[in-house]
Amino acid sequence: MFPELIQQLITKNQYPLLTEETLDGFIKQHRYSVLFFCNDSKMFPESLDVAVILPELMSTFNNQIEPAIISRDDEMNIQRKYGFKTWPSLVFCKDGAYVGTISKVRDWDEYINNIQEIMLSKPSVPPIKIELSQN
């Protein structure tokens, strides 16, 4: 269960709640999408700030970016796919492929500049962390 501010994004703002099974279909369906990874808001209280900022960002970009919330049950598995290490994170996709991540709370101008840059970027491979086994 999400805290009230994040739950409102789902109920009031009608942001879809994505699972591992529904993720690919969602990002392929939209030209631009953003995935909100909030984790545990008690451990990462900035998630509540991002929950307030995200709708404002979507409005600023004339709702051209389709937002979604990542299910807490599948969040860690999906996080591995995108390779970010800091919470909360907004993962941006373009035409179904990764284009960038913004982690933690940022200044408004930094959000705007980063999102504009991300939207103009070509899809790329996420920065996946490679674990080396020791034998």
Label residue 135 by pLDDT band (50, 70, 90).
very low
Q: What is the pLDDT of residue 99?
A: 97
Question: What whole-number distance in Å separates Cα of residue 54 and Cα of residue 44?
Answer: 16
Q: Which domains does the chain have, with CATH numbers?
A: 4-120 (3.40.30.10)
Model pTM greater than 0.75?
Answer: yes
Over range 22-43, report the average pLDDT: 97
Encoded tokens for 80: 């591995």
pLDDT over 80 (residue 117)? yes
For 35-91, how does the pLDDT look when each residue is reduced to its tens digit (9 = 90+)?
999 999 999 999 999 999 999 999 999 999 999 999 999 999 999 999 999 999 999
Closest to 68 (Cα-Cα) out of 98, 91, 36: 36
Whether the predicted pLDDT of 134 surpasses 70: no
CA 72, CA 58: separation in Å to the nearest integer? Answer: 22
Residue 60 and residue 11: Cα distance in Å, rounded? 21
For the residues 77-106, what does the mean pLDDT come to?
96
The predicted pLDDT at position 59 comes to 97
Question: What is the pLDDT, as a whole number, of residue 130?
Answer: 46
Q: HSE on the CB side for 83, CA within 13 Å?
A: 11
Residue 51: its pLDDT value, please? 98
